[in-house]
Amino acid sequence: MFNAKVKSEILKDIIDIISPLVNEIKLNITSKGISIRAVDPAHVAMVDLEVKSNAFEEFKAKEMELGIDMDKLGSIMRLSTAGDMVSLEYDNDANRLTVRIGNLVRKMGLIDTAGMPDPKMPSLNLPAKVVLKSSEISRGVRASESISDHLALSVNKDTFELFAEGDTDTVNLKLPKDLLVDINAPSKCKSLFSIDYFSNMIKPVKSDNPLTIHLGNDNPIQVEFDIADKKGHVTYLLAPRIESE
């Protein structure tokens, strides 16, 4: 059994968070809420998403897995507008998910989850932590996209810095301590990342909402933020690009 009603904005946020990495997901459902964990086909990035049952207007469920085509779900949700309520109901006999938006009903075939992986979230001991508003870093990322395909993120005890270098141009964004929500870096840390992946990770975060970044030296980056009025949480991991000597 799975029967839920949720604001369209929450469902759209989930699609925006997952879709850049994978097209097909295993939706894990329990009485406490939903969760998704997936790794992109290139094994460069990973997402771990949880939304509690109290983020939904209505939520009745027993433990189950549903295989969802994110492109299909995204095409349905593009027909919704802000403030719409979306009903989700699992039809066990037909193995379909019924999606209702107002008077519109879409019965969506589901994917077999048998061959889908269950990735484990690695335990990373990253020394540096920065908390900042999404708007502060997104400007630097957007500026970098036009000149390079990768960027460097570095942090020391007082400053968080973004740097990108192209053939002729560079972009530099320095955020001192007083422009950050929090910073904790025992020593200087720096890693290089793909701009496309990193940009997709921070796009779903509302501009004034805090973004937490854990960083090391040539280590993966861990990006975290809340969704659904803090009733949901997202963790991304992104592998570093190692600079050749």
Q: Does domain 128-238 have CATH number 3.70.10.10?
A: yes
Residue 192 near residue 244 (C-beta atoms within 8 A): no
- Tokens standing for residue 150: 């990768």
Q: Quick one: pLDDT at residue 244?
A: 54
The helix (run of H) or strand (run of E) holding residue 96 is strand 96-101
Q: Say what the pLDDT of residue 207 is.
A: 82
**CA separation for the pair 222, 239 (Å, rounded):** 9
- pLDDT band at residue 245 using 50, 70 and 90 as cut-offs: very low
Q: Does residue 141 register a pLDDT over 90?
A: yes
Q: Looking at residue 232, what is its pLDDT? A: 98
Residue 169 has pLDDT above 80, yes or no: yes
Average pLDDT over residues 197-220: 94
Token pair in block for residue 142: 């957007």
* Domain parsing of the chain, residue ranges: 2-109, 128-238
**Residue 135 dihedral angles phi and psi, to the nearest 5°:** -60, -30
Q: How far is the C-alpha of 144 from the C-alpha of 171, rounded, in Å?
A: 6
What is the mean predicted confidence (pLDDT) over 32-44? 96
Residue 46: is its pLDDT beyond 70? Answer: yes
pTM of the model as a whole: 0.94
| pLDDT at 173 exceeding the cut of 90 | yes
Closest by alpha carbon to 153, among 136, 168, 47?
A: 136
Between strands 64-69 and 24-30, the pairing is: antiparallel
Question: How far is 229 from 45, CA to CA, in rounded Å?
Answer: 25
| Residues 133 and 207 sit within 8 Å (Cβ to Cβ) | yes
Q: Would you state the structure tokens that stand for residue 84, as one six-digit string? A: 């719409």
| Mean per-residue pLDDT over the chain, rounded | 95
pLDDT for the residue numbered 117: 86
Q: Which of 227, 166, 230 is nearest to 202 (CA)?
A: 227
Amino acid at 115: G
pLDDT in tens, 97-136: 999 999 999 999 999 999 898 899 998 999 999 999 999 9
CATH 3.10.150.10 corresponds to the domain 2-109 = yes
